[in-house]
Structure 1
Amino acid sequence: MEFSQGWDSFATLVDGRWVDRRPRRPEVAEQLRRETRLMPWLAPLLPLPVPVPSVVSDEPLVVRHALVSGEPLESPSAEDGVAVGKFLRALHDSSVAEAVRQGLPPTAETESSWVAEISRFKAQVVPLIPVSQQDSALTILEALREFPADTVVHGDLGPEHVLVDGGRVSGVIDFGDAHVGDAAIDLAWALHGAPKAFAHAVAAAYGVTGELRRRALVWHQLGPWHEVTYGADIGDIAVQQSGLAGVLERLKGSGEIPLR
């Protein structure tokens, strides 16, 4: 039974206790293999259960991990925020050097991907933004160039990837976008897209600084830009339009925290 509609892989529940994942596109195969090297090292360092996949088939590629119990977080509470804040603190305190030895691409690769991403956003997203808002959009893109890439990050932390079971946070899933990057990317939704009680609890448990909060807002504003380019990649105008609506909505908050 397929039960996930992720952008990168198909996920199938097997015997009610295993999750099999297959790449949706050829370039995702290495991403899945990288998880099989990284997660066995990373999982014991974290205070919540996470997927620990292994390869069960090479041709076609299939990786399998034990099902992490729970349902996506729908009503984030302060208690949930404490759990997420502590989880992120542990993740971000893990060794970058060891993560790279376990297969995570090094900082230079992240910085190169940011340059390519900024270029693509300028070419494919900025022209779709009303002229009156394009300066704000470009300012956000330029701010990204100054951000650090010095932390092991989840890379796509949102409520759909935080699971709850029995009223408590029970795990964090989908480490396909894990990389050496900016810690603030994992705080984007938690600080700027979640209820205030949850956000305050995350900030307190993690130890968020003003600088982290500023950068997290930029990452939050950039989130829907990926939906626009993904929609272009799969030829889905509705996805592009949904992403653009998100881009415009989040641009309204571009003055909340000064951008350098």
Structure 2
Amino acid sequence: MAKTKLKKFRAAIVRDFPALASAEFTLIGDGWDSIAVDVDGKLIFKFPRNKVAGAALRRESAILGAVRAAISLAVPDLRLHEGPPLFSSHLKLKGRQIETEDYDALPEEARQKLGEDLARFYAELHGLDPARMKAAGAQPVSGWHTAAAIRKKALPLLSRKLRRYARHIVEAHKALSPDPGGTVFGFFDGHGWNMAFNRKKQRLVGIYDFADSGFGPRHEDFTYSNAISPDLTARIVSAYEGLTERELDRRRIDILTGYHHLSELADFAGNPGRAKQMRRNFKVWAQQQPDFPGEKSRKD
């Protein structure tokens, strides 16, 4: 199946880029909306799965056009090719994804620089004119599952101890007032898989995949970096406060992070393989919380 897909995509790419006929083509992503192809490690092509994904790709291209000149970090210069099939192209950002183990291995200076770079990225995005971003096609970000859906789908998949803590998080989330930081245009996908990090120079090169960007609660945008490290999130938040003179609620970010993990578990409740990973994500996060009760048992 993968070979068939690659053959089809290669033909579409070479039709518009005949000079790439002898290049090396590699499938690098099988995402929810699009499938990505790497060509010679220099170019990235994305093919949307369906009409809805195609509309999302067009929207992402327009949003990047509005964002690119306004932020300090590099982002893709996404060009659309009508085909058929519709696809996009952009130069590959020179860097690798950053995982928890990569961050943990960084020296103090590099960790602080990464936190500051990401804080500036968020501050610049949040400062963009909402009317301009709406005109570019930005929409409200997708909502998370309701408390009722999480109780029904996610909680039964957890151990007793984790289930008790999950109930605590659901109730804490329910008690949150509307975001005191208001609604902003943000990235809302700032985990390490969307970052191009130069490991040799120990610095962030750029950010990619703006498909999930849009309008949402300010504090929510700071939850995703916890997938890399809570230490990184703490550095981002502190630097962001210094740049914007706006205080953030760290406990609120923690509650939102836990609730998001539970919402993702509910998303994949019917997929044993993905549910196992989502369950692990919640466990790892929960055990990092100062109010997580008791010993950390393997059964949890």
Both structures adopt the same fold (TM-score exceeding 0.5): yes
Counterpart of 2:86 (choices 49, 61, 80) is 61
The aligned residue for residue 52 of structure 2 is 27
In the TM superposition, residue 200 of structure 1 has moved relative to its aligned partner by 4.6
Of 202-211 and 235-244, the range deviating more from structure 2 = 202-211
Partner Cα distance (1:189, 1:137) in 2: 17
The correspondence for 1:93, drawn from 86, 108, 127, is 127
Task: Let me know the Cα RMSD of the aligned residues.
Answer: 2.9
Q: Is the 8 A contact 2:45 2:90 kept in 1?
A: yes
Corresponding residue for 2:167?
A: 135
The TM-score with structure 1 as length reference comes to: 0.81
Q: Report the structure number with the largest CA radius of gyration.
A: 2
Counterpart Cα distance in 2 of 1:141 and 1:168 = 34
Q: Does the CA-based 8 Å contact 1:184-1:216 persist in structure 2?
A: yes
Gaps of 5+ in 1: none
Cα 1:28–1:149, aligned 2, differ >3 Å: closer, same or farther? Answer: farther
- The question of 1:239 aligning with 2:271 is answered no
* CA pair 144-32 structure 1, distance change in 2 beyond 3 A: farther
Alignment correspondent of 2:238:
204
> Letter of the aligned partner of 1:135 in structure 2?
R
Match of 2:222 among 181, 187, 191: 187
Displacement of 1:215 in angstroms is: 2.5
Q: Percent identity?
A: 20
Q: Is the 8 A contact 1:191 1:202 kept in 2?
A: no
Q: CA deviation at 1:118?
A: 4.9
Letter in 1 for 2:168: S
Cα separation, partners in 2 of 1:36 and 1:187, compared to 1, 3 Å = same
CA contact (8 A) 1:10 1:22 kept: yes
- Aligned mate of 1:158, from 182, 191, 196: 191
Q: SS of the counterpart of 1:44? A: helix
Q: Give the 3-state SS of the residue equivalent to 2:268 in structure 1.
A: helix
- The 8 Å contact of residues 10 and 21 in structure 1, kept in 2 or not, is answered as yes
Report matched runs for 1:11-50 at 5 Å.
11-24=36-49, 26-50=51-75
Q: Which SS does the other structure have where 1:12 is aligned?
A: strand
Which piece of structure 1 moves more, 240-249 or 143-152? Answer: 143-152
2:252 is aligned with 1:220:
no
2:150 to 105, 109, 121: 121
C-alpha distance in 2 between matches for 1:173 and 1:141? 29
2:144 and 2:261 map into 1 onto residues whose CA distance is: 18
> What is the alpha-carbon distance in structure 2 between the residues aligned to residue 207 and residue 27 of structure 1?
37
Q: Single out whichever of 179-188 and 131-140 deviates more from structure 2.
A: 131-140
Q: Write the distance in 2 (CA, Å) between the matches of 1:14 and 1:95.
A: 35
**Aligned residue among 108, 118, 122 for 1:84:** 118
Cα separation, partners in 2 of 1:149 and 1:61, compared to 1, 3 Å: farther
Does the Cα contact within 8 Å between 1:18 and 1:65 map onto a contact in 2? Answer: yes
Deviates more, 1:13-22 or 1:30-39: 13-22
Say if 2:144 and 2:260, in contact at 8 Å, map to a contact too. no
Q: For residues 182 and 48 of structure 2, what CA distance do their matches in structure 1 show?
A: 27
Contact 1:226 1:243 in 2 (8 A): no
Q: State how far apart, in whole Å, the 2-side matches of 1:23 and 1:238 are.
A: 24
Letter of the 1:3 counterpart: I
Mapped partners of 2:148, 2:77: distance in 1: 34
Deviation of 1:189 after TM superposition, in Å, equals 4.0
